[in-house]
Amino acid sequence: MSVGAISTSNVNAIKGTEFEGMSIQMMAAMVMLEVGATKKKEAEMKISDMKGQNDKAKKLNNLVDRMNADLGGVTKDDDDNNKKRASILKSYYEEAKSLGIDTSSWGASEVNLPASFRGASSMTQKVLFIPSKTAEQVRAITSQIQHMAENCNSDNQTQMVKLQDFMGQYNSFVSGASDQIKNANQILQGLAKN
């Protein structure tokens, strides 16, 4: 950090502030500590973001693992198995939506199920309907979820680089502040000896 010539108007601007009566080194140290504290807060926010991304990736991986386990026994591409796949997808639909998964390829729609169809005497009920799915369609859906999890992990790697940069900046500012305080103390000790 370089300091240019200080005019009297700049010195007068310091009067009445927390810097009044401080040496230039102590002022520089205070500024560096403040900037360091800002970098530390930014790093803490990055850590929080990364934790959220990591949690989401775990949830996505868990979802796709459970879906694959349930779908593992449904191997043929006939009408019965296609309906079973749709039923399995239906059981994971709300969880998938809550994780931010684009479920448009699932073909889900709400249909009004009449009371007489359900054996009830009154009121229709909205029911989620997912049409039959081939093995290839379901593979595409589970691949999409797996891809989202991988993107979360990839984003975390990028965020880790940024975090390391913030921590480096923090360490640099704290070290600079320490150096400024040492310089100020040396100057004061020199003046006290004279």
Domain spans in the chain, listed from the N-terminal domain onward: 26-193
Q: pLDDT tens digit string along 128-143?
A: 888 889 999 999 999 9
Q: Averaging pLDDT over each range in 15-29, 32-46, 49-63, which range is the top one? A: 49-63
Q: pLDDT tens digit string along 164-193?
A: 888 888 888 888 888 888 887 787 787 777
Specify the higher pLDDT residue, 108 or 194: 108
What string of DSSP letters covers 50-105?
HHHHHHHHHHHHHHHHHHHHHHTT----SHHHHHHHHHHHHHHHHHHHHTT---GG
For 158, the enclosing helix (H) or strand (E) is helix 135-193
Rounded Cα gap, residues 166 and 30, in angstroms: 19
Q: Note the maximum CA span of the chain.
A: 103
Average confidence score pLDDT of the chain: 83
Write out the two tokens for 155.
Answer: 């984003």
Q: Confidence class of residue 15 from pLDDT cuts 50, 70 and 90?
A: low
Q: What confidence score (pLDDT) does residue 8 get?
A: 45
What single-letter DSSP state applies at residue 107? Answer: T
Q: What confidence score (pLDDT) does residue 90 get?
A: 93
- Percent of the chain exceeding pLDDT 90 equals 32
